[in-house]
Chain A
Amino acid sequence: MMDNTLHLALPAVHTVPNANAPVVAIAQPRAFTTTVNPLVFFNILDHYLRRNAGQDRVIGTLLGVRSEDGAEVEIKGCYPVPHLETKDQVEVDMDYHRTMFELHKQVNPKEVIVGWYATGAELNSYSALIHDFYQKEVSSFPAVHLTMDTALTNERLGVKTYIAAPVGITSRADNCMFVPMPCEVKYFNAERAGLDVLANAAKEQQQNPDQGPTTTTLLSDMDNLERAIMEVQKMLERVTEYVSKVLAGTEPANNTVGRYLMDTISVVPKIDAAEFEKMFNSHLQDMLMVVYLANMTRTQLAVAERLQKLL
């Protein structure tokens, strides 16, 4: 990976390195981690699917939030930026980038530009140029570059994040080295529920692959509960099978797994039977009461509706 992240100077046809302009001091790459909201990936893929004919990579701006000490960058959103690559020139639609950023700021004032994304696994000399531009946009912090291998080389969508380190004696726009950064996916409960539904769709697709594009319907709470319980059951079965195998001596015991199991079992709370009975009954009664009241209210409403129609 390292050998194609190192780039030497291109003939300076496309940039005008202004000697008078103060060189943006790139902060020495400090240790910081990047977390990415899955929405960003979805957005990038959508952008890639909507690319112009003949275009093989797309780029866009990443928006996000920096923690106060700068130790963590959370990439929360992104938007596409049209660009054009030819043999010896790269054009990025800057007006578009600015307008979009202004628009985003109206909705989400907290999110700032943190870097940019591109599809395709390789980093070429244009990457360095574009990165230089984004470096100016994010001012004193190192800009983050995220790549996503949409061509699926190695059958993976290898998501990678980089920051740039200057290379060479004189600072030049197209001189930089991309240093890989750790990157994690982060999401919240509500988003998680959404992702679950999507992941289910993906699984369905795997089971019957000739259905065309995947579609799925939303599950009711009950179905969802059933699914979760089934999952727990499967896991328990797996563990029981493993334990009985170990006890029978057909499989060597693994200390780590044993410790995990011990810890898990110790987490299960022990409640006094009478106490439990009391709690159980009171909850049950509460629940039944509420359901009863709700049904009563609905009946009232239905009666009122009927009466209204009689008028």
Chain B
Amino acid sequence: MPAENLSAALDIEGVVPITSVQLDAMVVLKIVKHCRESAPSTVTGQLMGLDVNGVLEVTHSFPMPKTQDSEDYEAGSQYQLQMMRCLREVNVDDNSVGWYQSTNLGNFMNQSLIEHQFEFQQALSKSVLIIHDVARSSMGNLNLRALRLTPAFMKLYKEKKFTSETLAQSKLSFSNIFEELPITIRNSALLNALLFELESDESLEATASHLTTYNAANSQQQQRKTALSTNFDMLDLSMDPYIERNLEQVMDSIDDHTQEQGNYAYWQRSVERENKKKAAYLANRKAENARRQQAGQQPLPNEDVDSLFKLPAEPSRLDHLLITGQIDNYCKQINAFAGPTLSKLFAVGELQK
């Protein structure tokens, strides 16, 4: 590849925005393993790779140790540096491109996550956050999302100004805190070979030739789980636990939301009160001034009014924003779940007839 092509592809100036994320198969499995083993607590890890022509290729990842407080932060970064040095030695791309976090039924919208991702995007403009939902993945369909904070949100977060006014100005709402990028997954040729081999496992044919009952063979298979045959987890009919947990979470966030609303209403009331007091004071002063003018006296100055009445600062709307985002997320999740479940229900209904 000629030099100018290469530099254009690597985008040294950082002008090409990222449009999609490509994960290596190994990275997918690493994330899945790490998240599953430490579920239900949330864990994070680093992603490494390179961006080529707007596609962020993630080729490696490593888990991060759990941090309890900020004291561990130093140890964490030490760990990260050392790990990256080690990985460079074995020819791994040692270029940090983001991080991943596990989540349970999509409850990832919170302050610390936003802060973390903000720092990342501040330092590396092309970094992504991969969210892996353990609970949903174990239902038979891998659930990964690649997210980035939108520029508008980045700007507001930098200024730490989350008032209704600034939100309205920058047209920011819960639906555009994050932008979601499409994910593709890449297998190498050798990996394909491995996958086909896993699928065409001979051990199963061996059991079928013996005269065993279905149950015995079944229990044997349970123990082995060797062959990579088709996965029928998707056909599972038990939907109640999922819906139940999801609704619980929605209820929790709605509670939070109400509280946040209460805070906001309180603020509004106090602003109103102050405003009323101010207006009363001003009217008083005006009347007095008029009287003084009639009496031929100097009118009293009006400047001290603002210092007398301090309007309480508007509470940060960030929490509100996040909570609404979270609720929206849950609702979408329920809807997405409802579609297949309804069709499953009807399918079973037909089957019964």
| Bound pair (A, B) | yes
Give residues in A with beta carbon < 8 Å to B.
37-39, 41-43, 45-52, 76-77, 80, 82, 93, 96, 99-100, 103, 106-108, 150, 152, 156-157, 184-199, 201-202, 205-206, 213-222, 224-225, 227-229, 231-232, 255-256, 259-260, 262-264, 267, 271, 273, 276, 280, 283-284, 286-288, 290-291, 294-295, 297-298, 301, 304-305, 308-309, 311
Could you list some 7 contacts between A and B, CB below 8 A? A37-B33, A41-B194, A76-B33, A205-B187, A221-B337, A221-B339, A287-B342
B280 at interface, CB cutoff 8 A:
no
Interface of A is mostly: helix
For B228, list chain A residues within 8 Å (CB): 195-196, 199
Contact A228:B232 (CB < 8 A) given known A103-B82, A107-B65, A194-B137: yes
With A194-B142, A259-B213 given, can you name 12 additional A-B contacts, CB distance below 8 Å?
A46-B24, A93-B89, A190-B35, A197-B28, A198-B185, A217-B184, A221-B336, A228-B140, A228-B232, A228-B235, A284-B342, A287-B239
Alpha-carbon gap, A264 to B198, bound state (A):
25
Please name the residue on chain A nearest to B332 by beta carbon: A298
- CB A55 to nearest CB in B, in angstroms, measures 10
Alpha-carbon gap, A273 to B353, bound state (A):
8
Contact A308 B29 (CB under 8 A): no
Contact B90 A82 (CB under 8 A): yes
For B144, list chain A residues within 8 Å (CB): 218
Alpha-carbon gap, A99 to B345, bound state (A):
54
Contact B32 A287 (CB under 8 A): no
Alpha-carbon gap, A103 to B63, bound state (A):
10
Contact A48 B168 (CB under 8 A): no
Contact A108:B63 (CB < 8 A) given known A82-B89, A190-B32: yes
Contact A256:B211 (CB < 8 A) given known A225-B343, A294-B334, A301-B174: yes
Give residues in B with beta carbon < 8 Å to A.
22, 24-26, 28-30, 32-37, 60, 63-65, 79, 82-83, 86, 89-92, 134, 137-144, 164-165, 167-168, 171, 173-175, 182-199, 208-215, 217, 224-226, 228, 230-235, 239-240, 243, 247, 250, 254, 324, 327-328, 330-332, 334-345, 347-349, 352
